[in-house]
Structure 1
Amino acid sequence: MPVLARMIPAPLVVDVRRGALGELAKILADQRISPSGRVAIAVGATHGPVIRETFQDGLAGADWFTVGGCTINAAIKLMEKIRPQQYDAIVGIGGGTVLDVTKYAAARIGLPMVAVATNLAHDGIASPISTLDNDAGRGSYSVPAPIAVLVDLDLIGQAPAGSVRSGIGDIVSNLSATADWEAAHSLRGETIDGLAMSLSRTAAQAVMNHPGTLADDGFLTTLAESLVLSGVAMLVAGTSRPSSGACHEISHAIDLLYPERRGFHGEQVGLGAAFAWFLRGDLDRFHATVDCLYRHGLPVTPLQLGFSLDEFADIVGFAPQTRPGRFTVLEEAALTPERITAKVADFNDHAYARTQSPVTPEGRNLDSSV
């Protein structure tokens, strides 16, 4: 008998709106995740106390824990605190740090995890991956995806604009990542998943084509839903391929070579995607990516990201080593050091010229000279 369908372990709930966090107890009960409300709730040190004070009355059966850093050790400490107790689920309320640590801890204990995002910095909201610092730098770890995802736009509005803006760069990079995946399929015979590809591209295009800004609830909703879709695309594919290609190799290289200078993940992968399109010679996609990044105030040149052209050339040269075996445009181009230097300089000139002005529509100055 032919297989007519496949089962995808997608979230039971995806709720994006103002006031979503106030419905957490009801969602836990209605979806039978925790009818009693007996859950462990992990929050960050900065905003955690405020969140707890505001919402703990509606979650009387919950215990609260504070996450101390985006590291393997922090995840293990959280796991050790939670394991002796009996909980129905673990709820992470916070940004990428809290969610990644909570996902890893929940996976180790074997409990379902509910993600309540207070930021939109990257597509880890609903992904089956935790990115955590370790003794060797930073690693990505496979974990079960969240069983439910809530995004409270009231809390998103309180997050630093730069971190929310980062999510735009992360989702835009999906188009470059899927182009790398297609090339790996054509040139190396790598298996490709059409559904995952479609989800990833649809998510990126929704954000790129939206006319709104961070001040617009409609745009924030589209961004949040797209980040969730991107995570589901990885879940469908069973790999980060739909969302990670040369763009992410460049970001990983920054994290490893310049850990003290790494910026927001989305800023790094967004710029990495623009460089990848330029390297492919696809100027239409290059222009579209630069235009989107620039319109939302993200860096579009190495200098705006905080690196000299020589440093960025070193980053590009090292990038393929961050994901051995992953075929992207960086590997396909077989770049020599001399060609990397020339391409980086040419990319920088074209990207800067595309912006016409060093000041973004939102007023953020991206001129590296000031």
Structure 2
Amino acid sequence: MQNLLGKLNTRQLEFPAQLIVQKGAISTSEFLSSQISSRRVLLAIDDGVRELAKANLPHLHNSNSIIYSVTAADFDNVRQIDMLCAQKHIETVVAFGGGKVLDVCKRVATIRKFELIVVPTALSSDCISSPVAVIFDEQGKKLSLPAAIPNFIVVDTELCTKAPERLTQAGVGDLLSNYSALLDMDYAKGRANFDGFSYLLAKSAANEILNMEHKPLTDLTTITQLAEGLILSGLAMGFSGDSRPCSGAEHLISHALDYLQLGTGLHGEQVALGTKYCHFLREQLDLPTLDPRVLNTIERLKIKSTPAALGISKEEFFKALLIAPQMRRDRITFLESLEQIPVEILEKAYVNAFEAL
């Protein structure tokens, strides 16, 4: 026993220094104003939330702050913010907006040392706290790159209730896909490192939103639980050191759709689609499947999660499916032997997932 204990150790983990999730978190909390007073600040926004920024962050619209409009989640915007931070000796960056703004600022924070405060205006994915940034390359392909975990996270739940419903639905889809990813973690036991703590965090995160399908997505309770779930989900990835607790076969399908540039789906919608298909394919293969409540939540909240709804043909879906295992060659999922699965089984799963009444 003594020898075993001698080999044990603890991990040093990064967490945000401050987390505020509440109604009126921006207007009623003194945290933001006190944190950035007398500091050189860059406020990163996108044009779609410019008026929201003026209304909610008036103290940042002055001569002491720089306002930068993020036009795309690409390397050019990363370079532009990095250059401004260097030239103006920026001490704090406030990322106010959706995933595009947050991902660009998180990526810059891996390059240049500054204090990062994220203030999401929509809850469309777990990028709020995840150590991953989705950045488009020069060819328009999505890349998932290492990113800094924010120093501070401020979620004004009242503000997030006003986001377009489709963005909130996508956030639910992204969070519920954790259940599919966890099935792949179970599947890979013995062949890949199994991190029990990240598994627990990812599961607890998804549990936040399960059984909430009967409440409107503008309900403050729903928004609060979705925000908390997405934040926990991002931290699960940070705890794990990779995205495995929240990214399995369903995400590989989404990555393949991105790679082939197919359809019009948001990330959360694509992984919801992948979650549904993987459930019915696992069923055909006699593998463990999802709790029925997961699919019920996707359906009752009317999350776009079929190829037709996302502008993808059946042929295009199968084209993406066939290359899905190649998207993360080190990621062990139940799709690892895809080429050995009879076509009729793949077809049957498609019918059950997307065409059956």
Common topology (TM > 0.5): yes
Equivalent of residue 202 in structure 2, options 200, 203, 217:
200
Deviation of residue 308 (structure 1)? 2.2
Moved more, 87-96 or 19-28: 19-28
Deviation of residue 37 (structure 1)? 4.1
CA 1:28–1:199: 2 relative to 1, 3 Å? farther
Secondary structure of the structure 2 residue equivalent to 1:16:
strand
Mapped contact 1:121–1:167 kept (Cα < 8 A): yes
CA 1:306–1:217: 2 relative to 1, 3 Å? same
> How far, CA to CA, are the matches of 1:179 and 1:222 in structure 2?
23
Aligned 1:315-326 pairs, distance under 5 A: 315-326=320-331
Mapped contact 2:269–2:303 kept (Cα < 8 A): yes
Amino acid at match of 1:15: I
Counterpart residue number, 1:360: none
Aligned 1:270-349 pairs, distance under 5 A: 270-281=272-283, 285=290, 287-335=292-340, 339-340=342-343, 342-349=344-351
Mapped contact 2:161–2:223 kept (Cα < 8 A): no
> How far, CA to CA, are the matches of 1:178 and 1:271 in structure 2?
16
Secondary structure of the structure 1 residue equivalent to 2:27:
helix
CA 1:252–1:202: 2 relative to 1, 3 Å? same
Amino acid at match of 1:201: K
Mapped contact 1:41–1:64 kept (Cα < 8 A): yes
> How far, CA to CA, are the matches of 2:325 and 2:241 in structure 1?
21
Deviation of residue 152 (structure 1)? 1.4
> How far, CA to CA, are the matches of 1:87 and 1:43 in structure 2?
16
Stretches of structure 2 that go unaligned for 5 or more consecutive residues are: 1-5
Pairing 1:175–2:179 present = yes
> How far, CA to CA, are the matches of 1:54 and 1:322 in structure 2?
40
Mapped contact 2:104–2:135 kept (Cα < 8 A): yes
Deviation of residue 85 (structure 1)? 1.5
Secondary structure of the structure 1 residue equivalent to 2:308:
helix
CA 1:97–1:275: 2 relative to 1, 3 Å? same
Moved more, 114-123 or 295-304: 295-304
Amino acid at match of 1:257: L
Identity %: 30
Counterpart residue number, 2:270: 268
Aligned length: 346
Q: CA RMSD in A?
A: 2.3
Counterpart residue number, 2:245: 242
Pairing 1:22–2:35 present = no
Deviation of residue 24 (structure 1)? 6.4
> How far, CA to CA, are the matches of 2:268 and 2:330 in structure 1?
23
CA 1:344–1:216: 2 relative to 1, 3 Å? farther
> How far, CA to CA, are the matches of 2:326 and 2:354 in structure 1?
28
> How far, CA to CA, are the matches of 1:325 and 1:2 in structure 2?
27
Aligned 1:1-370 pairs, distance under 5 A: 5-22=10-27, 26-27=31-32, 29=34, 34=36, 36-57=38-59, 61-136=64-139, 137-186=141-190, 188=191, 190-210=192-212, 211-259=214-262, 261-281=263-283, 285=290, 287-335=292-340, 339-340=342-343, 342-352=344-354
> How far, CA to CA, are the matches of 2:182 and 2:208 in structure 1?
15
Mapped contact 1:43–1:65 kept (Cα < 8 A): yes
CA 1:236–1:284: 2 relative to 1, 3 Å? closer
Stretches of structure 1 that go unaligned for 5 or more consecutive residues are: 357-370
Moved more, 162-171 or 55-64: 55-64
TM-score for the superposition, normalised by structure 2: 0.89
Secondary structure of the structure 1 residue equivalent to 2:110:
helix
> How far, CA to CA, are the matches of 1:229 and 1:161 in structure 2?
22
Moved over 6 A (4+): none
Mapped contact 2:183–2:288 kept (Cα < 8 A): no
TM-score for the superposition, normalised by structure 1: 0.86
Deviation of residue 63 (structure 1)? 2.3
